[in-house]
Structures are given as structure tokens and as C-alpha cells.
Amino acid sequence: MTLGARLRALRQQAGLSQRELADGLVHKSMISQIESGRTHPSHELLRHLALRLGADPDHLLPVLQDDQERLARYKRAQAFFTLHHYAQALPLLEDCLPVSNPAWNPYDLHLQIATCHHWLEQYLAALLHLDAALTIAIAEDRREDVLHLHIRIGETALEAQLWTVAHHRLEFAYRETVQHPERLSPPERLPQLCIALARALAGLDRQEQAVQVWLEASQRATALDVSQSVQLRLEAEIAAGLGKTYAQLGKFREAELQLERAQSLYEKGWLKSQAVRMRLQRAVLLAESGRLHEALQWLEECRDLAERERHPVLQAEVLHGQAEAWMQAGRLFRARECAERAVHLLTEARREGELVTAYQLLSAIEKRLGHYRRASECLTRSQELFTKRMGWMKKSLRILP
């Protein structure tokens, strides 16, 4: 007999409705989900339900024959997870998820699996597990966890470039935080929330609004009493975001000043990859202002720096910038070489969001070269990736608050 069937039998034996059993513990829907097998309760909730039913928790969750073997795998997973060996921890955690056990609960497992996917840059998979954790948190009326999960989903959606999902989740979290600031801690989380919301607005091409939120983030960060390293990171990220947003608005002087400041702050904090990104953005500004020769020199320096960092996604970003600059200079074969290399690196890194734009750029280059069939193939691949991502976004939007 499944856990859901055992719970239903004990509830009916006690003469309680689902609403009566849930009263004061969880929402009624949570009991329905457990009984139908759609979710598994935490060990703590299971204990409270058993007490209300006058039953021993072991009657709801009997020991399975392979419990010891699965428990050993769970302990191995926790050891890998603690050591940040996420690739090794992930399959072991996923093996534990479908089966209830007193040693773990699905909420924590979903969060750990999401963390593994996130660090492996598998953002869509991470979002699915964060949504599952959010469903449990809502059903168990864990308000602070619900708020933090909306923020985490929003920030992960930013990494996946799902701007609409990110904006909805982060805007909801921002409204909740303004009304109930005590729910959000530590103190730097509020300017970080503003930073994430500004990035989402910029991704939606709402640049003027993004500037206002960036400036709010700057004010909130300045007022913080935090360590120098935290302050430096916040100020650098805000300057970088403002610079990029000003560039989108065509305010190149303001953009250059902010990007230069961000690069200096990142270098001061020994954040080399981020410093390279700022130099890359400044090189792109040079190209957009017509200083192509100087821009190409900067881009080549950025490429060398990115290769030293052994950061494939950063290398792809630089290659993308080089491809655009070479195309602008009329050097189409050099542009295609850079764009193809960027596509290869992003494919290996499974960065589907960046691949959408990388294939679009490669398509534009092939079209200018007169290779219309190749251009069409690249554009089709870009559209396929975009459609796949839109499918996930629509699914996510269905469970917005």
C-alpha cells in the first residue's frame, strides 16, 4: 500500500475529512496531493499528521526493503554535496527523490538537486526543481521560504534569459519585501533583489525603468553596514548593470564611465572573469562609436584573457563580440570563424539562451556571404531553441502567484 493510500485509510478510520486533518498544519490541498501520490510530506509534517490521527509515524512510512541501500546512497550524496562535487551528488539525490524516508524530505531534496543543476549551469532543470520546492512551501504555508524561492527562481530565470518569468517572480518578491521587509535577510538581499529586477527589466527592453531600479539598488547598497568585500561586489555589479543599460539607451559617455568603474572594482576584488566582461563591454562601445580598429585590439586582448581564465562561456561572449566587430568591418570570413567557435563553446556548455543569439548572428553572417541555405539552417536552429524555452516559460507562468 502506498503512503497516500495508508494516509487515506487512517484518516477515514479516524473519521476526519481532508480539511479537518489539514486544519492548522497545512492547506487542504496538501493532504489531497499526498493521498493522490503527487507529493511526499516532510518527516516533520508526517509526525504531526500521525499524532493527529492517533497513529505511529512508522505506520505511515514503513521501512522499505532497500532502505539501507538507499540511505547509504543518500549519505554519499550529502558528502559529495558538502564538498561541492555537484556532478557526483546529482544522480544520487535524484535516486532518493521518488521515495519517502525519515532521513530526508522532498523539499530539501528538490533544493539540493536545483543547486546541483545551477552550478552545472543547467538552469532549466534547476527551475523545474525550484518550482517543485515552491509548490511544497506554499502547501505547507512556509511564507519566508515562499518569498526566498520566488527570488531564487527569478534569479535562476535570469541566468536562463527567461526575462518574463524572472520579471514576474522578482516583481512579486519586491512588492512583498516592501510591505514586509522583516521577511528578507541578510540586509544585502534587498539591493541584490533590486539588481535582479533591474536585469529583468533590461532584458525586456524596458531600459528607462531599469535605470531607475539600478539607481535604487545603488542607494540601498550605499546605506548598508556590511563588509568591504560585500560592498565592493554590490557596487561593481550595479555599475556594470548601469553601464550596460546606458549603452542600450545610446548614452555612451555615461556607459563608458560606469563600465570603467565596474572594471576597476572587479579588478580590486580579484574577480578576473567579471573584469574581462567589463573590458569586453567597453570594446563593444568602441565598435558602436565607430572606433573599429581600437575595438578589435581590445577584443583580441579580452580573448587572450578569457582563454587564460579557461572559462568557455566567457570565451564565447568575447568571440561573439569579435564576430560582430569583424562583420561591421566587412571581414565576413573572420566573423564567421569567431561565430562558429562561439556556437561550439556554447553547445558544449549547454547554454541554450546564449545559443539563440549566437545562431542568429551566424545566420546573419552566412546570409551576407550569400550562403542562404546555411543561413536558413542557423535561423531554424535558433527558432527551435527559442520555442523550447518559450514552452518552459509558459509552464512556469501558469503557477505564478
pLDDT digits (tens, 9 = 90+) for 181-208: 777 778 788 899 999 999 999 999 999 9
> What pLDDT is stored for residue 226 in this prediction?
83
DSSP bridge partners of 104:
101
> What pLDDT is stored for residue 102 in this prediction?
67
The whole-angstrom separation of Cα 229 and Cα 214 is 20
Per-residue pLDDT tens over the stretch 42-70: 767 878 888 888 887 766 665 444 466 77
> What pLDDT is stored for residue 64 in this prediction?
41
Per-residue pLDDT tens over the stretch 165-183: 999 999 999 998 888 877 7
Q: SS3 letters for the chain?
A: CCHHHHHHHHHHHHCCCHHHHHCCCCCHHHHHHHHCCCCCCCHHHHHHHHHHHCCCHHHHCCCCCCHHHHHHHHHHHHHHHHCCCHHHHHHHHHHHCCCCECCECHHHHHHHHHHHHHHCCCHHHHHHHHHHHHHHHHHCCCHHHHHHHHHHHHHHHHHCCCHHHHHHHHHHHHHHHHHCHHHCCCCCHHHHHHHHHHHHHHHCCCHHHHHHHHHHHHHHHHCCCCCHHHHHHHHHHHHHHHHHHHHHCCCHHHHHHHHHHHHHHHHHCCCHHHHHHHHHHHHHHHHHCCCHHHHHHHHHHHHHHHHHHCCHHHHHHHHHHHHHHHHHCCCHHHHHHHHHHHHHHHHHHCCHHHHHHHHHHHHHHHHHCCCHHHHHHHHHHHHHHHHHHHHHHHHHHCCCC
Q: Check pLDDT > 50 for residue 398.
A: no
Which pLDDT band, with edges at 50, 70 and 90, does 390 fall under? Answer: low
Residues 305, 87, 126, 71: what is their CA dihedral angle, to the nearest 10 degrees? -160
Other beta carbons within 10 angstroms of residue 57's beta carbon come to 15
The whole-angstrom separation of Cα 42 and Cα 400 is 24
DSSP bridge partners of 101:
104
> What pLDDT is stored for residue 55 in this prediction?
80
Q: Check pLDDT > 70 for residue 324.
A: yes
Question: How many residues appear in the chain?
Answer: 401
C-alpha cell at 196: 535582479
Q: Check pLDDT > 80 for residue 99.
A: no
Which pLDDT band, with edges at 50, 70 and 90, does 9 fall under? Answer: confident
Place of cell 509526525: 47
> What pLDDT is stored for residue 401 in this prediction?
44
> Contact 374/365 with Cβ under 8 angstroms?
no
> What pLDDT is stored for residue 65 in this prediction?
41
Per-chain mean pLDDT for the chain: 87
Per-residue pLDDT tens over the stretch 362-384: 999 999 999 999 999 999 999 98
> What pLDDT is stored for residue 121 in this prediction?
81
How far from the centroid of its chain's Cα atoms is residue 185's Cα?
A: 19
The full set of domains in the chain, from first to last, is 3-60 (1.10.260.40)
> What pLDDT is stored for residue 389 in this prediction?
66
> What pLDDT is stored for residue 141 in this prediction?
83
Other beta carbons within 10 angstroms of residue 206's beta carbon come to 17
Q: Check pLDDT > 90 for residue 13.
A: no
Task: Please report, for residues 46, 206, 235, the alpha-carbon distance to residue 210 in angstroms, rounded to integers and kept in the order given.
Answer: 45, 6, 16
Percent share of the chain, pLDDT over 70: 92
The whole-angstrom separation of Cα 302 and Cα 323 is 13
Per-residue pLDDT tens over the stretch 110-155: 999 999 999 988 888 899 999 999 998 888 888 889 999 999 999 9
Percent share of the chain, pLDDT over 90: 56
> Contact 362/395 with Cβ under 8 angstroms?
no
pTM of the model: 0.70
Q: Give me the mean pLDDT over the 339-344 stretch.
A: 96
> What pLDDT is stored for residue 63 in this prediction?
45
> What pLDDT is stored for residue 61 in this prediction?
63
Q: Check pLDDT > 50 for residue 283.
A: yes
Residue of higher predicted confidence among 53 and 86: 86
> What pLDDT is stored for residue 67 in this prediction?
60
